[in-house]
Amino acid sequence: MIQPIYNPKVVLASRYRVEQYLDEGGMQQVFITTDLTFNRRVALKVPKNTSAEKRFQRSASTSARVNHANVAKTLDYFEAGNKGHLIEELIDGKHLGDRLDNHFEYLDPHLAAKLFSDLARGLSASHHAKIIHRDLKPSNILISSDADISVVKITDFGIAKLALEEMVGIDVEDQNSITGSQTVLGAIPYMSPEMIESAKLAKLPADIWAIGAILYRVLTGDFPFGTGLKAVANILEAKVPERPQIFTTKKQFSQLANELWEIMLSCLRKNADDRPTADDLVQSCASLCYSDAQRSEGEVIETRFGSQGTIRGHDGKLIFFHSESVFGAFPAVGTRVNFSAFPGYPRPRAFPVLPIK
């Protein structure tokens, strides 16, 4: 059972009123709070245990040094009750990890390209500021809850360092000590080989490896090297995962899908020096072409000939779709989908169509 540090209505620093408990990470709890000065909703982060407190401020100022649209904004920091408190902008939505668990199975190449471009830009801004994240994983990527994922922000810079310090001294052979730490377990699938060998070796390319692994997860719904301790051996080997069949069978997607795949492979090179820099990734993303048409969600309400069907949008409008435009198996009636609609007669036509949970 999670025991929230604060109850609703508590006012901190005469400025922030706690509204509700939001989430918990390895080192901290997150609350939705109201900033009474500007009457806006903000996120409050509080370290969970006393050992992390001193380093919490350092990590707060690390985050505060990066100013970029794809990095969560640090708004304030204060101490109350001997604990550091970090105020960050609040995103309407949870994190990518939560969305992958509960909403999307995976993303179609267009949505994945959008997400990855945003990540590359946010990462490049932090690397320019000489800040290594060290703990990039879906739960550290905040995304808005809209169908477009219009807002993508990296968070918890420097918190990573805390996690790392906690990790040092953990016996990798000891299952209990590993599973005892949420942070470590959640981070393993995205950890680079050099980081596993020695946490101190993690430099900028470790972040590149991590967003490569995230891209794999986002494109396939799967972990590139598995999860838990089994992943460790696969990562050390840097064994290249196999390209999913759908990348070649769906002609409308194959060019973009394969370009993303190549970028992903370049991030997952075993030798850290062989990986692209964040700036290289921003450049690669610039040459990607993807549809940024507005997305919405709906449900498949009928299918015909096993190759076409009708989607009812959340606004009640009916939209035609063809199996070629579906990134995934042909969806059965009742399947929920994420899509863009384009003008057509008698009905608008959907592309791409992404089955969701």
Residues known to be catalytic: 135
Who's near 50: CB < 8 A, 6+ residues apart? none
Nearer of residues 195 and 211 to another protein, judged by Cβ:
211
Report the distance separating Cα 333 and Cα 330, nearest Å.
Answer: 10
Q: How near is the Cβ of 169 to another protein at its closest, in Å? A: 29
Q: What's the CA gap between 182 and 172, in Å, rounded?
A: 14
Q: Select the residue interacting with another protein from 283, 317, 329, 332 (CB under 8 A).
A: 283
Cα(235)–Cα(230) distance, integer angstroms = 9
28 binds another protein (CB under 8 A): no
Q: Give the CA dihedral 281, 287, 288, 290, nearest 10 degrees.
A: 130
Q: Residue written as tokens 């994983």?
A: 137
> Is residue 245 a contact point for another protein (CB under 8 A)?
no
Is 142 a binder of another protein (CB under 8 A)?
no
In the complex with another protein, the residue whose CB is nearer, 125 or 268, is 125
* C-alpha–C-alpha distance, residues 225 and 207, integer Å: 16
What letter would DSSP give residue 270? Answer: S
Does residue 57 bind another protein (CB under 8 A)?
yes
Distances (CA, A) of 264 to 84, 163, 188, 209, 242: 37, 26, 18, 9, 12
77/4 Cα distance (integer angstroms): 20
75 binds another protein (CB under 8 A): yes
| Closer residue to another protein (CB): 30 or 256 | 256
Residue 340 touches another protein, criterion: CB under 8 A: yes
**Binding to another protein, residues 307-336 (CB under 8 A):** 322, 324-325
Of 22-30, 124-132, 227-235, 237-245, the segment contacting another protein by CB under 8 A is 124-132
Query: Which tokens is 357 given?
Result: 């949970």
Restricting to residues 156-185, name those near another protein by CB under 8 A: none
Using CB under 8 A as the binding rule, whether residue 279 contacts another protein is answered as no
Residue 80 binds another protein, judged by CB under 8 A: no
- Count of residues engaged in binding another protein, rule: CB under 8 A: 54
DSSP lists the bridge partners of residue 83 as: 80
Sign, CA torsion 178/181/183/186: positive
Reply yes or no: is the peptide bond before residue 352 cis, omega within 30 of 0. yes
**Taking CB under 8 A as the rule, does residue 282 contact another protein?**
yes
Q: How far is the CB of 145 from another protein (least distance, A)?
A: 14
Note whether 349 binds another protein by CB under 8 A: yes
Query: Which residues contact another protein by CB under 8 A?
Result: 35, 37-40, 57, 60-61, 64-65, 67-69, 73-78, 89, 110, 117, 125, 128-129, 151, 251-252, 254-256, 282-283, 285-293, 322, 324-325, 340, 342-346, 348-349, 351
